[in-house]
């Protein structure tokens, strides 16, 4: 009896003295994040990588690729979403890693300011090429991997799709297009078992507005350009304003929620404050009421509208369970 007890104790000690088993990399869900070098994309990459995902972080510049590649649970991948060759190469790279792919977060985006009456076709099409055609190219290319994993894909949209602002029409147009693209893709891929969503942020800290200013000053959005003293003052002012904004953590949290919840939503808001959140809802309600009142033959009464809202709330609350 003593020898049996001793043997059991010795075996138990050996087991307890072994180092903790690390999670096999093949069991970790992999996610591709485009536009991961800074701002919202970087925040999403860091958040997901720290919460159990393996992230393929898309970027264009060598220095960004090197920096991203040094992060834990992150592999950088060269990816310009306007170049089909880059997209195809990224698919080959991700496939070769052997992890599969559970999610795609289409974050890469650009913006430019200018009155719609004066702005050039080139300027608007440049924004469309990245903000709308980019997700189209990426989702189309990675669809076989998403279908295999029954995974999820989302676009980082913008509340600018709902809140019009003078000078931001070109950008708002692309983000509004991303909304209908997302809704249509969700219908088309539901039968394939792939879940689609869109996450609409407010004005968080990012380098996007710095790039907008750079493009207005030089004609190019790249931040590593040589500037005159006057141009540097303008950029410094933009950077100072940007430093006052909140970090984009809420956007990263919504992205994580979309990827992990049992009942992902089609639409997520990541407003930067309560005032903006309420303004978006009020704007959408105003739009709905204007449409309702515009065709007298089909106008819903107040009671009918209230019932419709109550029914929608019941469904929304059911989706939370």
Question: How does DSSP assign 305-318, residue by residue?
Answer: HHHHHHHHHHHHHH
pTM of the predicted structure, to 2 decimals:
0.85
171 is catalytic: yes
Looking at the DSSP assignment, which residues form a beta bridge with residue 156?
199
Instruction: Say how many C-beta atoms besides its own lie within 10 A of residue 65's C-beta.
Output: 20
> Residues 67-77: pLDDT tens digits?
999 999 999 99
Looking at the DSSP assignment, which residues form a beta bridge with residue 201?
270
| Catalytic residue, candidates 54, 56, 171, 268 | 171
C-beta separation of 214 from 225 below 8 A: yes
According to CATH, where is 3.40.50.720 located in the chain? 25-204+246-272
Going by pLDDT thresholds of 50, 70 and 90, the confidence category of residue 308 is very high
DSSP 266-303: SEEEE-SSHHHHHHHHHHHHHHHHHHHHT-GGGPPPHH
- The DSSP 8-state label assigned to residue 82 in this structure reads T
> Residues 30-66: pLDDT tens digits?
999 999 999 999 999 999 999 999 999 999 999 999 9
Q: Is the pLDDT of residue 251 over 60?
A: yes
Rounded distance between C-alpha atoms, residue 116 and residue 308, angstroms? 36
Rounded distance between C-alpha atoms, residue 77 and residue 59, angstroms? 6
Rounded distance between C-alpha atoms, residue 31 and residue 304, angstroms? 43
The CATH number given to 25-204+246-272 is 3.40.50.720
């Amino acid at each position: 009896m003593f020898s049996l007890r001793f043997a059991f104790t010795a075996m138990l000690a050996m087991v307890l003295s072994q180092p903790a088993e690390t999670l096999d990399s093949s069991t970790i869900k992999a996610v591709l994040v485009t536009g991961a070098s800074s701002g919202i994309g970087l925040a999403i990459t860091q958040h997901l990588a720290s919460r159990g995902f393996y992230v393929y972080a898309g970027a264009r510049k060598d220095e960004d690729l090197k920096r991203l590649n040094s992060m834990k649970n992150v592999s950088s991948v060269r990816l310009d979403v306007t170049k089909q060759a880059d997209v195809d190469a990224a698919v080959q790279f991700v496939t070769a890693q052997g992890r599969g792919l559970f999610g795609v977060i289409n974050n890469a985006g650009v913006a430019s300011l200018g009155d719609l009456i004066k702005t050039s076709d080139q300027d608007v099409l440049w924004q469309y090429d990245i903000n709308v055609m980019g997700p189209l190219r990426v989702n189309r290319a990675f669809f076989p991997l998403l279908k295999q994993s029954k995974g999820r894909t989302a676009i980082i949209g913008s509340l600018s799709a709902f809140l019009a602002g003078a000078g931001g029409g070109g950008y708002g147009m692309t983000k509004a297009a991303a909304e209908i693209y997302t809704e249509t893709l969700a219908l088309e891929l539901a039968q394939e078992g792939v879940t689609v969503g869109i996450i609409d942020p407010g004005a968080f800290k990012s380098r996007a507005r710095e790039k907008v200013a750079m493009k207005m000053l030089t004609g190019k959005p790249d931040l590593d350009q040589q500037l005159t003293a006057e141009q540097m003052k303008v950029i410094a002012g933009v950077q100072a304003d940007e430093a006052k904004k909140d970090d984009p953590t809420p956007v990263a949290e919504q992205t994580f929620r979309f990827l992990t919840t049992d009942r992902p939503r089609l639409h997520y808001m990541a407003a930067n404050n309560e005032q903006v959140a309420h303004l978006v809802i009020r704007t959408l309600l105003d739009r709905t009421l204007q449409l309702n009142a515009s065709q007298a033959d089909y106008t819903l009464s107040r009671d009918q509208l209230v019932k419709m809202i109550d029914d929608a709330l019941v469904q929304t609350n059911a989706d939370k369970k």
